[in-house]
Structure 1
Amino acid sequence: MEAFEVTGGRPLHGTTMIYGAKNAALPILAATVMAEDVCVIEGVPRLQDVRVMVEILRTLGATVDWQEDRLVIDPSHIHSTDVPSDLMRQMRSSIFLMGPLLARFGEVRVSRPGGCVIGQRPIDYHLRGMKELGAKVEEAHGYVRCSANRLYGGHISLDFPSVGATENLMMAAAYADGTTVLENVAREPEIVDLAVFLQKCGAKIEGAGEDRIVITGVHHLGGATHRIIPDRIVAGTIMIAAAATEGDVTLEGVVPSHLGATILKLRETGVQVTIDRDIIRVNSMSPRRAVDIRTAPFPGFPTDLQAPAMALLTTVNGTSVIRESVFEARFKHVNELARMGADIGVDLQTAVIRGVNRLTGADVEASDLRGGAALVVAGLMAEGKTRIEGLHHIDRGYQQLETMLRDLGADIVRID
């Protein structure tokens, strides 16, 4: 079993470039099945989840040529609307294919998706929205089949601003007859990026990035060339790691407006964060202060950075409180941090972190993607060596994380 071996105590220093966002790439790759011409997607990270999506596209009949960070996709020969269940189980984001396949071909069959176990993430919002657009939805034996001779515009209000449901319904509505209004939708930058790609293909979408999106359906989408936005979660993780190790790191190729809540909380701890166009510099010195964090949909503090932020707060002065309001089972990293000497108490979806003088290296295991990132941050801070197993989780969202950190001066290696 592969593991990271981290020797802590080295401040991170230097400059790093942030690559394309996984959470933008996956729905955009799914959206290419709606196009009738070749699509070129640039800035695509080489991650396990992306590899799974590419394999799904190929299985459906698309031609995919992967050249470094560039994917050339020809969807004109897609011959199947049945997404393989073994690939669905590997990656939750495969559910994004529901809307595009239904819209273009009139039917789709998927199994219940997999991914990190971080709480209930039902696809009810997706299915309810498809029904509102005129689809017939059948569920049996762990599979979902949606069918419609034609989708029709409608007025859909989400009970919760789900990112996945917003993206899936936006894609389906792009081919529906008439106008669709989506309300109480998610506002994440990745949704805006998907809308920009679809607009390049010929879709008519207004309001992406706001809580109300209006889509006027079209009958044809062409190909397009598009570059993925930088990954704000990777950027946030590196910023937190720099702060945790009392380092001085410059991030290039970022969109600072995507990181507003993260920047605010780092500054509240006493970390110096400076911004210059697409460059962010994080300069951290002791002592740092305790802060309270409540996760929330964008533009709030991202749930995907809750775990790394918790690792940072384990050694700050005072008591910090984190309230997880997005997923109810996202504190699985707490027990592993405790093995390293952290003092953390959990009550339902609230964690109380009492700062300790230091963490010490230990053998720990990642049980999900962002919890794994938290253990890496903790290992960089800790005294002695930390062995982190469960790298398949981390590899789903970070492209060669050990190389990126090693280039910034970290002592981290991947071992068998």
Structure 2
Amino acid sequence: MLVPAVWAAAVLLAIRWGAGNPWTWVPVLLLAGGGALGLSRPVCRMFRHLVARWTGTKVPAGYRQAAPVVRLSTGHWWNGFSYERTRRDALLDQRWRLRLRDPANWRDLRFTAIAPVTAGPVAAVPPAGLAVAVLGFGLGFARPSPALLAIGALGLVVAVAGAPYAWRVAEPVAVRFLRPSPAMALADRVDELTAQRADTTVAQAAEIRRIERDLHDGAQARLVGLGLSLATAEKLMETDPERARALMREARAAAAGSLSELRELVQGINPPVLNDRGLVDAVRALALDSALEAEVSAAGVPPHLDPPIESALYFSIAELVTNAVKHARATRARIFIGRAIEGSDLVVDVEDDGRGGAGVRPGGGLDGLRRRLAVFDGTLEITSPAGGPTRVRMVVPCELS
């Protein structure tokens, strides 16, 4: 209703200025075009929200996400399109380029022109019936007229009877004209998979470096010392048996220490309890070791899931608990693992009593969690008002038996 109002204001302005004014068309076009372009995104966001709330159908927006603005060694800022001297100029240039080049914006603009002549007339039936009822009853009682009263009653019936059905046309219109095209969805999926591949490569390289560093600094030094002790004990076996036995005892203790260190080393890859007892027990063990007072509950989760899904969810929960302690200053947390009400999706809810204000920022930790779950077509939803509490819901498609 906002966009037609802008168009009507432009027409009224043209009528007021008169057709004889040669410059009438300039402000008219600026008002009609600029107003429609500026209102297209908020109007379409509101429309998607209403359709999802009333019908349960979620229409993906498909907007292109802004890349992080990075400062280079030369002092210039790179925004994904061009180099700028200041961060402010880089953000401004990036915003306008996305605004003009994103096909989703032009799709929204097209929708603002289509919706008033498709969903608009049907949605206007109840308000129109109510207006007729008010006028009919008002005039019918002011000067008694059975015809006006009948018109008012008819308008009221139309308003009440049509209200439950007036917005049903919104769903097919939104699905048809607001969702991304198959080509755009495929391009977004390719970009997402490319980013996931890059993240996986970086994570694998970092994990390999961590293992190499820990082996070199810890386990390798212990094993070298163990070898020297055994060589010394072998030489002392005949001349000083007591000293040789003491060295053997030290070597045995060093071997036990090396084994324990190797076990701790591979915990960053997968905790033993996760491999042995599954996701729920691993999360309970994590809660016991956490600084938070954490409560873990589960319903309908089998002992073992697919190992990649178990690993991704476990480390996602571990990062959320760490963030709650480190950033949100929380003291309590509640973790629930179970099945979705409808379907076979696996749902994980993590809620803490921290100060809130958490959000997904490009390149941040929560953005990394979102990308980690996206590998399995999972989703991440965050509700974190200022002052808390923070609730994070992770949903992963998973066949549970």
Higher RCO (CA-CA < 8 Å; seq separation 6+): 1
TM score, norm. by length of structure 2: 0.19
Higher Cα Rg, which structure = 2
TM score, norm. by length of structure 1: 0.18
